[in-house]
Amino acid sequence: MKLTTDRLILKPPAEEDIDAIVAVASDWRIAEMTLVPHPYLPNHAQEWIGRARENWETNGIGGFAVFTRHDGAFIGAAGLRLTETAGHASAGYWYSPRVWGRGYAPEALSALLRFGFEDRGLARIEANHLLINPASGRVMAKAGMSHATAVELPHRDGEGMVAGFSLHIDAAEWRALQSSRLSA
């Protein structure tokens, strides 16, 4: 499974990606804005790869390692996982601070939405962001997600909760948005 956009390649993470994943995910700024563990160690990358592989095999969706098309550099992670509600999935992502503000995150999230709705027939996709990370909420909005609801998210260390927002988009809303973008 591989998704491509104008500037990105999204493919399931593999063992040969571990060093690059750890090098990028070890940046505290990622952990500060997400639920990614810190320090991020090789075993975290291996666990993520294992979960992604299992989700792909079991559910037909999972995690993607995100690479730039122009030089093949690993810049982050994105993915979908099924929720407890049939036909619903949750999207998640994180990117290297060196590429923040370049539009890669909404580009990749848009590819995930297309994959989820067109290829996997999902009915709804949601995503969460921490209250202290409004930039992530803007990424979701650029990809068409709305319906913001305040939520409490588990802290990365498993102790306590942190404030956040959940946004979502339904398949019908996504299709309407795609039609309006094509006609514009």
Domains and CATH numbers, the chain: 3-183 (3.40.630.30)
Q: Characterize the bridge pairing of strands 146-154 and 74-82.
A: unpaired
In the structure encoding, which two tokens stand for residue 79, read together? 């993915």
pTM as predicted: 0.92
**Burial profile 63-72: b = 16 or more Cβ within 10 angstroms, e = fewer:** bbbbbeeeee
Residue 39 and residue 117: Cα distance in Å, rounded?
35
Model pLDDT, residue 1: 87
Identity of the residue numbered 26: S
In the structure encoding, which two tokens stand for residue 149, read together? 């609801």
Placement of tokens 């491509």 in the chain: 4
What's the pLDDT tens digit per position in 128-170? Answer: 998 988 999 999 999 999 999 998 887 766 677 888 999 999 9
What's the pLDDT tens digit per position in 55-93? Answer: 999 999 999 999 999 999 999 999 999 999 999 999 999
